[in-house]
Structure 1
Amino acid sequence: MSIVDTAPDVIGAQGPSYGRVAGHGVDTSHGAILYLEEITVMFDGFRALNKLSLDISVGELRCIIGPNGAGKTTMMDVITGKTRPTTGTAFFGQTMDLSRMAEHEIAHAGIGRKFQRPTVFEHHTVFENLELAMKADKRVRPTLFARLTSEQKGKIDEILHLIRLNGSETRLAGLLSHGQKQWLEIGMLLMQEPQLILLDEPVAGMSDAETARTAELLNELRGKHSIMVVEHDMGFVTEIARQGVVTVLHEGSVLAQGTMAQVQSDERVIEVYLGR
């Protein structure tokens, strides 16, 4: 399913800048944009999440790592409303209870999610993909008769430069490399002005050069958006984590948390995930 189907028109700051971390209606006065508290998810007796608690600060880039089956995808499903927690609470800002909101309401509130496999409109140009993702009135009549304003064109140009696809505006998205498609989809997310971005293994299948460029891109977004990155590539995580917090999940709960150096030296993390 396309990104504009799953996350249309999020609430964000108005104006040409894509990078404002606190949108209208999102109360982040306490400094955190996401709270998960004692989240448990049961599937036919299997505990996919087990009293999971964590929070993400405004403008933070948080890396989530852990073995397969640790609960990383289920956690993102809870945040985006795809899965309801069996017990526990999930809040966006101080007041939005995600467990009581539908998926489209969560998208409108300002949470954007990118899945591992890129989903772009391959028969449309790069420019058209960004235009289709733009936060705007998606009803048929306004769309048919819409004309881009200079401000909207400026915003698309800004995103094109950010994702390094300026000069490729008229190229069909289907002709892009795998990494370029990933960047385009991140650009489509940014067009929707999300306050919190969830990225699921963004560098899977990328070349070394594309992986390095993606690290540069996320480091540029740091502080302008709150970002949660789920990834297995430890070299990439090291590059974007810097002195930020890395959370290690195991069996549905937080096993360890700290700087990359701290989690890499944690005997529990070494045993269940990193190895020696």
Structure 2
Amino acid sequence: MSPGRIKAPDVSHKVILYIEALSVSFDGFKALNDLSLYINDGELRCLIGANGAGKTTLMDVITGKTRCDSGQVYFGQTVDLLKHDEAAIARLGIGRKFQKPTVFEALSVSENLELSLKTGKGVWFTLMAKLDSEQRDRIDAVLTTIGLSALRHKPAGVLSHGQKQWLEIGMLLVSDPRLMLIDEPVAGMTAQETEKTAELLTSLAGERTVVVVEHDMEFVRSIARTVTVLHQGSVLAEGTMDQVQNNPAVVEVYLGEES
């Protein structure tokens, strides 16, 4: 368990994230409208929906960035996320990766991972402090997982777009999250990078729960067992990719000719 982490969530009912009757309004616009969603422990879930469907707002509420008007959000059986701020939610074991990579380009790949270890110290202290054996092993394991071991001493700025995305996923992994929220991981990637990203995210599910927000339907098809379709702040449909693509309501409001 990483420093500062609180005990693991109670997933005795096999559900790690409970979202019930969640509503959020911005100047009269309902970004989330009585949304209910349940994510099972260890699953890889994909969220899809047109722009404005509520995907980002939902991630913001889960991570404490945005406060809701009404509803409930629980991490496991007992942890009410609405009572915690962003920092506390991260310590609980919920990590988020935004669409645009935010790596430290002047630092090496390995140093980026060092900074993400939960030391609670500043950048300079973190880089000057010696890692203990457990921390070194953790970084080595993450480098292997994200496929960047051979580039560990290279500046992050020389990485390709896809490699920067993998590094940022690695920066989440070193903090040992139980739930990972990943926003549009393959935007701008080559076909080969997209395929490797699918393999990476699929490999993470099981030990962790991975929720992916994505617009690339072929990518979603390649990784998802369950897809949740959001529309106007609510859940429109849920099921396998084939089920949602053949759902008349989904075809009408979102997938259109793509189905």
CA distance in 2, matches of 1:57, 1:136: 30
The answer to whether the aligner puts 1:159 opposite 2:142 as a matched pair is: yes
Deviation of 1:138 after TM superposition, in Å, equals 2.4
Change (3 A) 1:100 1:126: same
Contact 2:111–2:127 under 8 Å retained in 1: no
The answer to whether the aligner puts 1:249 opposite 2:197 as a matched pair is: no
Residue number among 91, 103, 110 corresponding to 1:120 in the alignment:
103
Contact 1:39–1:85 under 8 Å retained in 2: yes
> Partner letter of residue 202 of structure 2?
N
CA distance in 2, matches of 1:140, 1:123: 13
Q: Deviations over 1:74-111 (max 9, x none)?
A: 00000001111101011111111111111111111111
Q: Give the equivalent residue in structure 2 for 1:267.
A: 248
CA distance in 2, matches of 1:50, 1:233: 25
Residue number among 47, 50, 53 corresponding to 1:67 in the alignment:
50
Measured on the aligned residues, the alpha-carbon RMSD in Å equals: 1.7
TM-score between the two structures when normalised by the length of structure 2: 0.94
Any unmatched runs of 5+ in structure 1? 1-7, 12-22
CA distance in 1, matches of 2:218, 2:242: 12
Q: Give the equivalent residue in structure 1 for 2:204.
A: 221
Counting matched residue pairs gives 256
Q: Deviations over 1:185-218 (max 9, x none)?
A: 0000000000100001010111111101000101
> Partner letter of residue 246 of structure 1?
V
CA distance in 2, matches of 1:141, 1:207: 35
Change (3 A) 1:9 1:227: farther
Secondary structure at the aligned position of 1:50 is classed as strand
> Partner letter of residue 230 of structure 2?
L
CA distance in 1, matches of 2:127, 2:196: 36
Contact 2:244–2:250 under 8 Å retained in 1: yes
Secondary structure at the aligned position of 1:56 is classed as strand
Secondary structure at the aligned position of 1:167 is classed as helix
> Partner letter of residue 118 of structure 1?
P
Contact 2:19–2:35 under 8 Å retained in 1: yes
Q: Give the equivalent residue in structure 1 for 2:79.
A: 96
Change (3 A) 1:108 1:166: same
Change (3 A) 1:268 1:10: farther
Q: Give the equivalent residue in structure 2 for 1:204.
A: 187
CA distance in 2, matches of 1:122, 1:202: 19
CA distance in 2, matches of 1:140, 1:208: 35
Deviation of 1:31 after TM superposition, in Å, equals 1.0
Secondary structure at the aligned position of 2:222 is classed as helix
Deviation of 1:151 after TM superposition, in Å, equals 2.2
Residue pairs, 1:1-276, within 5 angstroms: 11=5, 24-138=7-121, 143=126, 146-241=129-224, 244-276=225-257
Contact 1:98–1:106 under 8 Å retained in 2: yes
Deviation of 1:27 after TM superposition, in Å, equals 1.4
Contact 2:227–2:240 under 8 Å retained in 1: yes
Deviation of 1:30 after TM superposition, in Å, equals 1.4
Identity %: 60
